[in-house]
Structure 1
Amino acid sequence: MSQFGALGRAKAGQNYRDILNAYYNNVRIEKRDDLTSTIEVYGYGRINFEENYLYGIAEMPTNWADQGGFEALKAQAIAARSYAIAATGNGGNGICAGEGCQVYNSGKASGGADAWYRAVSETRGEVMLSNDTGQVISAWYSSTTGGYTLSSA
């Protein structure tokens, strides 16, 4: 998913499901109640998955919500959740806190990002699953693509 592309789609009136379906092929978005409650983040230890780790993901400017981009934040929350679940085997393995994985900022997790918290909370438990395997996908994303991406199909 292109984060700036997601912002443009949100501003054009697309909801988070439309945005995700535009970037990820052959997937369905599903709310799961069997997701891990904690995750090992290297350098931080084992922390709460939704209220600490996801709140602390610092990948998209939260002020985009003020620019008509709240649905892009919700799409990002689901992409980040899906990526972390796939990368850690639903919390069975650890994840790094830097750009090699997903940027985690413990300061953001403890306050000051109300729109992001709302996006994470409103999509709680929602992940993208492959229609072929039923597994949570590694939802790769970036801020920009330079106009080129490889199809996930």
Structure 2
Amino acid sequence: MKITKKAILYVIAAELFVFIILPSILLGIHGIFHEIPSPAVPKIFSNKTDTPKYIRVYRHTYGVTEVIPFEDYVKGVVAGEMPSNFEIEALKAQAVAARTYSLSKIIRSGDGGNPPAHPDAPLCDDTHCQVYRSVYDLTELKGEEWMNDSWKKICKAVDSTKGQLMYYNGQLAEQALFHSSSGGHTENSEDVFASAVPYLRSVDSPYEEGATHQKETKYFSTKDFLYLVNLKYPGKKLSSPINKIGIVSKSAGGRVEDIKINNSTFKGRELRDALGLSSANFNVSMKNGTITITSNGFGHGVGMSQYGANGMAKRGSNYKQILEHYYTGVKIY
């Protein structure tokens, strides 16, 4: 069979496509979803911080790092962290808090590297950073009806605050912490964490109607109580029997600072962790071998109370007023 010059050219063209062009195309597509270079660290200007277009987020659910548009990430955090039936102004407040918190972590990663838990990304998708849910995740979890209604509401809240951040004395408010409900008062940061942050002050949070974990009561036998506390803090060596238990001091926000059990003193947050309490805002009593603990609120109690924010929104406060209430002295722009 005679092979023409034209046929040879076809064969060469086919080989070029199969072995060079097609792999390059596929590699490019793979790169779009899996291996885009890390976005640049945002520039910090006087009284204003730039926001990136894209960020890297480690997805614990899938074990991969994804590159996500920053504002889309904020939408996924608002959907993951706050009930969608909350008032639109509360959702806006959550958007600004989430945007500020995540950006501060991105900036810090440029100085000291990403966290050991996710070394390829400054942020992850669970409570280690902030809960993030993608459109695909939310569709699977919530369904099409929720996406057509609640997702559009969240997108509206985020889009209406696009790029807005919280600042204190002209600097990004790096610790834009929030929690579900406070039980009536938020906490000074130093009463819960290591250091005092000027905008994380204890404030009243009176409008938390409908909040979960109000007057939540748990009962422990002294045997179970001893086991759980010693399991968490073996160095304390709490011994049986428990003859005396009482609160020594409370913080400005009403949470237990110190509690004495027999001759050992514990921090309120230590007992919260050991016993799985919803809050360190609790009272305790002991009778007939049973220890009763009643707590109010859910979370660490520092920064914005989400249910409190919703209560303020119901009473006519806008998102800036909500944020300026829970973060003392901040400005939003």
TM-score in terms of structure 2 length = 0.32
Q: Does 2:119 match 1:89?
A: no
**Who is 2:187 aligned against?**
150
Contact 1:84 1:95 in 2 (8 A): yes
Contact 2:58 2:125 in 1 (8 A): yes
Larger Rg: 2
2: CA distance, partners of 1:77 / 1:87:
16
Q: 1:86 to 1:60 in 2, by over 3 A?
A: same
2: CA distance, partners of 1:33 / 1:117:
22
1: CA distance, partners of 2:68 / 2:83:
23
Q: 1:140 to 1:103 in 2, by over 3 A?
A: same
**Who is 1:27 aligned against?**
none
Contact 2:57 2:124 in 1 (8 A): yes
Contact 1:38 1:91 in 2 (8 A): no
- The DSSP-based 3-state class of the residue aligned with 1:88 is helix
Q: 1:109 to 1:121 in 2, by over 3 A?
A: farther
1: CA distance, partners of 2:166 / 2:108:
13
Q: Deviations over 1:52-103 (max 9, x none)?
A: 2112111111122xxxx11111100000100100122188451121012110
Q: 1:130 to 1:62 in 2, by over 3 A?
A: same
Structure with higher strand content: 2
- Choose the corresponding residue for 1:103, options 119, 131, 139: 131
**Any stretches of 5+ residues in structure 2 without a counterpart?**
1-46, 60-64, 115-121, 189-199, 202-333
Correspondences of 1:1-153 after superposition (within 5 Å):
34-43=50-59, 44-50=65-71, 52-57=72-77, 58-64=80-86, 69-89=87-107, 92=110, 93=114, 94-106=122-134, 107-108=137-138, 112=147, 113-131=151-169, 134-151=171-188, 152-153=200-201
Contact 2:49 2:172 in 1 (8 A): no
Identity of aligned residues (%): 37
Q: Deviations over 1:3-58 (max 9, x none)?
A: xxxxxxxxxxxxxxxxxxxxxxxxxxxx96721111111124221100x2112111
1: CA distance, partners of 2:102 / 2:139:
16
2: CA distance, partners of 1:34 / 1:109:
31
2: CA distance, partners of 1:32 / 1:56:
24
Contact 2:58 2:123 in 1 (8 A): yes
TM-score in terms of structure 1 length = 0.66
User: Cα RMSD over matched residues?
Assistant: 2.7
**Any stretches of 5+ residues in structure 1 without a counterpart?**
1-30
Deviation of 1:136 after TM superposition, in Å, equals: 3.7
- The DSSP-based 3-state class of the residue aligned with 2:89 is helix
1: CA distance, partners of 2:161 / 2:88:
12
Contact 1:130 1:137 in 2 (8 A): no
Between 120-129 and 110-119, the greater mean CA deviation after superposition = 110-119
Comparing both chains, which one has the higher relative contact order based on Cα–Cα distances under 8 Å and sequence gaps of 6 or more?
1
